[in-house]
Amino acid sequence: MSVQISEAETVPVAWTRNDLLDLESLTAEEISLILDTADSFKERTDNCTKKLALLQGKTVANLFFENSTRTRTSFSLAARRLGADTVDFSSSGSSLSKGETFIDTAKNIEAMGVDAVVVRHRTPGTPRLLAQNIGCSIVNAGDGPHEHPTQGLLDILTIRQQRGSIDGLTVALVGDIAHSRTARSNIWGLQKLGAHVIVCGPTTLVSQRWEEFGVEIANSLDEILPRCDVLNLLRIQFERQQMRPFPSVREYALLYAMTGQRMKAAKDDVLIMAPGPINRGVEVTPEVADGPHSVILEQVNNGLAVRMAVLWLLLGADRATETKPR
């Protein structure tokens, strides 16, 4: 399989993986191949509103052990836009509550002739465990604080569409880094494609050990603001925090919310992103979230495109002979 890499020049790349578990283990070429495929699907399906018949007869199972209407629906719609069938498993009401092991549940799903399992679980490494035990393709839709690769890919795709390339950009991930699998997937993907990544937040949410990832660490948004090409405003995950990591929401917003006032200190062409769901007035004010620099809804649409690309590369592409989705 050879594919046009828009980052630089034509490089022959082959998609050979059976699973998408993380961005850490992907090469820059593999990430670019997914992004190129996503762009191609977006174009051919009028921003993912039209259907293709590329995965007709395939079945994609959602196996979500954490609530997520949004991500689950995005995967379901992506699968169906490609003509695949979808089936939902939920943790409550499933055999797990009858004492079955997780691997047994997965093997049962496999025995039902499912082609791909999209899994979300609070335990890091669960998708890899599945991939080691069953033959169908596994897509990680978030494993605890570890990774959420399609979220990273859709964020990166959105930036690339706006700027043409990731190489040389400065991207800040602001806010709740500690609990964020989105941050981890962004860091791996962005750095592989040549971006400079800053993680920015209060010391309670951004520890020094992030230096191991090769990123810059900042505690003041105002200090780094003028240098940033992209601000990705991570959601404060109130529902995950046992202890509040800052004195009050008001204080957090005072220091880290993107406001109209702060926009004046930012670059003229700064991109405002947020993986959503957003807490208006906490990470971002409505003025900025709905303003001209915001690409928040483009991210949602790109989520569909990226998931179509991933499912097609895993299930649909004839890896030996095809170069592009037909």
256's enclosing H/E stretch is helix 249-256
- Interaction of residue 166 with a copy of itself, rule CB under 8 A: no
To a copy of itself, the closest distance from the beta carbon of 97 in angstroms equals 7
- Interaction of residue 285 with a copy of itself, rule CB under 8 A: no
Phi, psi of 188, rounded to the nearest 5 degrees: -60, -50
Q: What is the 3-state secondary structure (H, E, C) of 71-121?
A: HHHHHHHHHHHCCCEEEEEECCCCHHHHCCCHHHHHHHHHHCCCCEEEEEE
Binding mask 212-251 for a copy of itself (x = CB under 8 A): -----------------------x-xxx------------
Q: Looking at 156, 304, 306, 315, which residue binds a copy of itself (CB under 8 A)?
A: 304
- Interaction of residue 68 with a copy of itself, rule CB under 8 A: yes
Query: Measured between alpha carbons, how far is 52 from 60 in angstroms, rounded to an integer?
Result: 16
Within 8 A by CB and 6+ apart from 75, the residues are 60, 62, 86, 118, 139, 141, 150, 307, 311
- Interaction of residue 56 with a copy of itself, rule CB under 8 A: yes
Binding mask 105-134 for a copy of itself (x = CB under 8 A): x-xxxxxxx-x-------------------
- Interaction of residue 203 with a copy of itself, rule CB under 8 A: no
Tokens of 225: 């603001």
To a copy of itself, the closest distance from the beta carbon of 217 in angstroms equals 27
* 283, 258 contact by CB (below 8 A): yes
232's enclosing H/E stretch is strand 230-233
* 120, 97 contact by CB (below 8 A): no
The interface with a copy of itself within residues 35-54 (CB under 8 A) comprises 47-51
- Interface positions with a copy of itself (CB under 8 A): 47-51, 56-57, 59, 67-70, 73-74, 76-77, 80-81, 85, 87, 89-90, 92-101, 104-105, 107-113, 115, 235, 237-239, 276-280, 297-298, 300-301, 303-304
